[in-house]
Amino acid sequence: MLSQTVEYALRAATYLAISPEEPRTVDQIAEATRVPVAYLAKVMQSLVRGGIVTSRRGVGGGFTLVRSPREVRILEIVQAVDPIQRITTCPLGLASHGTRLCPLHRRLDNALESVEKAFAGTTLAEVLAEPSKSVPLCDFPAGRKPSGK
């Protein structure tokens, strides 16, 4: 249901949320999140255009979140790279349906609405703070724990 681009963007944003004040290069993010560098560079530019992250060139530069992880919602990240496409008219183009969705497409759109609501109600800080017995894909830097700032 969600594209690979969304998955990569979520991994990158979550990694940046671990140490929000510390700029990370695309190479550092790619290594930590196991995302191909060339693809990640494009994803990061979409996140910059979407107002999720900022980038700074030069020594000490890299990507950082624009706002605190407590303020960045998962839906914002998704919409910045591959917006959820709600179903507003018949996908088959049936004139008889017009803007009234058939029962199947109405249910599909309801599912998309539920996903939007779940993502809108979840921040990066909440994701990092959630207790889990799973080993994270993105290991925390040595001696660091997620700050959730």
What pTM was estimated for this model as a whole?
A: 0.83
For the stretch 80-107, pLDDT in tens is 999 999 988 877 777 777 778 888 888 9
For the stretch 116-143, pLDDT in tens is 999 999 999 999 988 877 755 555 554 4
Find out whether 29 and 23 touch, Cβ atoms under 8 Å. Answer: no
Fold observed for domain 4-129: Arc Repressor Mutant, subunit A (1.10.10)
